[in-house]
Amino acid sequence: MSAVMITRKVTRKWEKLPGKNTFCCDGRVMMARQKGVFYLTLFLIIGTCSLFFAFECPYLAVHLSPAIPVFAVLLFVFVMAMLLRTSFSDPGVLPRALPEEANFIEMEIEAANGNVLAGQRPPPRIKNVQINNQIVKLKYCYTCKIFRPPRASHCSICDNCVDRFDHHCPWVGNCVGKRNYRYFYLFTLSLSLLTIYIFAFDIVHVVLREYRNVFEHVVSLTPHCTVLEVLVCFFTLWSVVGLTGFHTYLISLNQTTNEDIKGSWSGKNRVQNPYSHKNIIENCCEVLCGPTYPSVLDRRGVMLEDSTSPNPSDASTHKSSNPVSQTTVRQHFL
C-alpha cells in the first residue's frame, strides 16, 4: 500500500494571530501596521551617515586621523543593529486567553462578585495583589480576556497587551516593552553619540576647511551637504539626547514611561514604586543586564488543522501534534 502525501502550504500561527501587527519573513519579524515614520527614521539616519562618509570622512581621514571614519562606521552599525532589533522583535506581547482559560477566569470573577441584582452594574473587574508590601491593582482586559500582569498595558495601536509596556514608538514602528526596552534605550543612547559625533566632526571639518582657505588664500564654499548634516544633527540632538536623558532617569528609578505619564508612583497617598530596588545601580542592572526574556507569542509554530493527507510519517505526526515543545523554544529568540 503506497502512502499518498498531499503537500500543502504549512500555515504558521502568525497568520492567525489577532491584533494589528504586521509580520514579515514568515513570522520572524513583527512590527506595527503604520511604518511610515519608521521609514523616515531609517532615511534620516542612513542619509545623514552616507553624506558624512562620502564627503567629510575622506577629508578628515587624510587631514586628521583614519580612526575617525572607522569609529563612525562602528557606531553607525551599532545604531542600525539596535534600531532593527527594537523594531523587528516582539516587545513582550501577551497572547490572548484561549476559550477555556477565559471561561475559567469568568467563573472566578462571578464567584468573587457573588449575585449581582438585575439592573445593577457589575463591579469593575480588578484583582488586588500584594507586591513588596504594596497593593497593586491588576485590571481585566476585555479584549484579551485576561487579568493583565503587573506593569502590563494594552496598546490600542497594536491591539495587544504588552508586558512591562513602556510606550508605542512610531519612530521605531513598534511598541517598546519588556523584551525590547534595552535595545530601544541603547538605540537612543548610541544615536545620541552618533549625532554628537557627526555634528562635532562637521564643525571640525568646516573650521579646518575655512582655516585652510584663509591660510592658502583659496576661496571655496563649504559643501552644501555639510550644512544639511549640521541642520539634521542639530534638530536631532535636542530630541534624541533629551529622550535618552529621560529614559536614563526612568531606568534609574525602574519606572516605565506609561507609569510616569499616569503618575502611578508619584508618591501621593504614600504610593511608592514596588518594583524599584531603591538603588540606582541595581535598577540599571535589572533593566539593562537582566535576562533576555523569551517571546511567549508563538509565531512560527505550525497551525493544528485537520490533516487530509493519509498515512503521515511518525515524525510529522509528532511535530504537528506537539509543535510547541519541540520547535517553539528555539523560536523564542527574536
Give the active site residues. 169
Least Cα distance to 308 among 2, 5, 1, 3 occurs for 5
- With CB under 8 A as the contact rule, the residue among 15, 26, 101, 210 that binds another protein is 101
**Contact 92/179 with Cβ under 8 angstroms?**
yes
Q: Number of helices and strands (H, E) in the chain?
A: 10, 10
Render the burial of 236-245: b for 16+ CB within 10 Å, e for the rest. bbeebbebbe
Cα distances from 300 to residues 15, 34, 90, in angstroms, run 9, 23, 12
Determine if 110 is a binding residue for another protein (CB under 8 A): no
- With CB under 8 A as the contact rule, the residue among 10, 214, 285, 303 that binds another protein is 285
| Closest distance of CB 2 from another protein, Å | 32
**Contact 163/178 with Cβ under 8 angstroms?**
yes
Window 225-264: contact mask with another protein (x via CB under 8 A): ----------------------------------------
Among the candidate windows 80-88, 196-204, 237-245, 313-321, which touches another protein by CB under 8 A?
A: 80-88
Determine if 78 is a binding residue for another protein (CB under 8 A): yes
- With CB under 8 A as the contact rule, the residue among 53, 296, 302, 319 that binds another protein is 296
C-alpha cell of residue 73: 562606521
Size of the site for another protein (CB under 8 A): 47
**Contact 309/106 with Cβ under 8 angstroms?**
no
Determine if 129 is a binding residue for another protein (CB under 8 A): yes
* For another protein, the closer CB: 97 or 228: 97
The torsion angles phi and psi of 313, rounded to 5 degrees, stand at: -70, 160
Interface positions with another protein (CB under 8 A)? 77-78, 81-82, 85, 94-95, 97-98, 100-101, 103-104, 129-132, 136, 138, 146, 149-151, 164, 183, 186, 274-275, 285-286, 288-294, 296-298, 324-325, 328-330, 332-333
